[in-house]
Amino acid sequence: MGLQRLASYSRREHAPALVIQSARVRECLPGLLEDHRLPFLDPAVEPRLWVGNQATTPTHFDSMRNIACVLCGARRFTLFPPEQLPNLYIGPLDFAPTGAAISLARLDRPDDPRYPRLRQALAAAQVAELHPGDAIYIPPLWWHNVESLQQLNALMNYWWSPVDVPGYNSGHARAALFHCLLAFRELPPAEREQWRRLLDYYVFDGEEAVAHIPEHRRGVLGPQTPEVVEKLKEGARQNL
């Protein structure tokens, strides 16, 4: 039904935006997988299909690595490095239509007085226009805006994570963000700063926290074996 409507819209000058997003290729076009795998990715990485007309996906980020391949039509990707976050005016975390936090600023309106720092972000942006057969690699946490430029566009993408830890998925990082908001946002500024240092010490710097501890005594600070992962999950559950 969606493809039929999209085909009818493709014959109209000013058709409403219509998209089919993140459809698993294995479920909708299973034969395609036989000839369209990426040899350098694990065969378990399942591609997804995106089909639509002239629509724009607002600036957002993904927590996984991403390779996007244009099948038909044309798409313009505008990428922003993670440090441009303050200049992109990201909206609420819990009201984004796709679950990903998105920018409230439109790139085609750089002079909108509500978003004066948008021009700084645009000055740091990288832009690529892709046509059939072209592909782009988008690193995790890079903000990207995607414009579909023709009346019919199709894209296939591959998301994956390099973390080879049993039970890990990229949702853990998003969940941690919400836990951090709950745990730290309302603390007095001095306490928030101390927790920031503690997180840097144990999580983001890491090596300093364990260098003086014998390897067999590092516990949940050691390599994330299946046993350590279960201990970490149990510790998280006990402290909810």
Question: Is the per-residue pLDDT at 96 higher than 70?
Answer: no
Contact (Cβ atoms closer than 8 angstroms) between residue 20 and residue 3: yes
d(CA 38, CA 66): 12
Nearest of 143, 127, 111 to residue 77 by alpha carbon: 127
What confidence tens digit (pLDDT) does each residue in 160-201 have? 988 777 667 777 888 888 899 999 999 999 999 999 999 999
pTM of this structure: 0.87
Question: pLDDT band for position 120 (50/70/90)?
Answer: very high
Mean pLDDT of 84-106: 86
Of the CATH numbers 3.40.640.10, 3.40.50.450, 3.30.43.10, 2.60.120.650, which one belongs to the domain with range 2-160?
2.60.120.650
The string of DSSP codes covering 99-116 is SS-BBSS-TT-TT-TT-T
Degrees to nearest 5, angle at CA 179 with 174 and 180: 95
d(CA 143, CA 33): 28
Which DSSP symbol is given to 240? -
Average pLDDT of the chain to the nearest whole number = 88
Per DSSP, the three-state class of 208 is helix
d(CA 183, CA 202): 17
User: Which ranges of the chain does DSSP label H, i.e. alpha helix?
Assistant: 2-9, 25-28, 118-123, 171-184, 189-199, 207-210, 226-238
Residue 129 β-bridge partners: 76
Domain assignments of the chain as residue spans, ordered by start: 2-160, 171-238
Contact (Cβ atoms closer than 8 angstroms) between residue 226 and residue 166: yes
Nearest of 159, 44, 168 to residue 100 by alpha carbon: 159
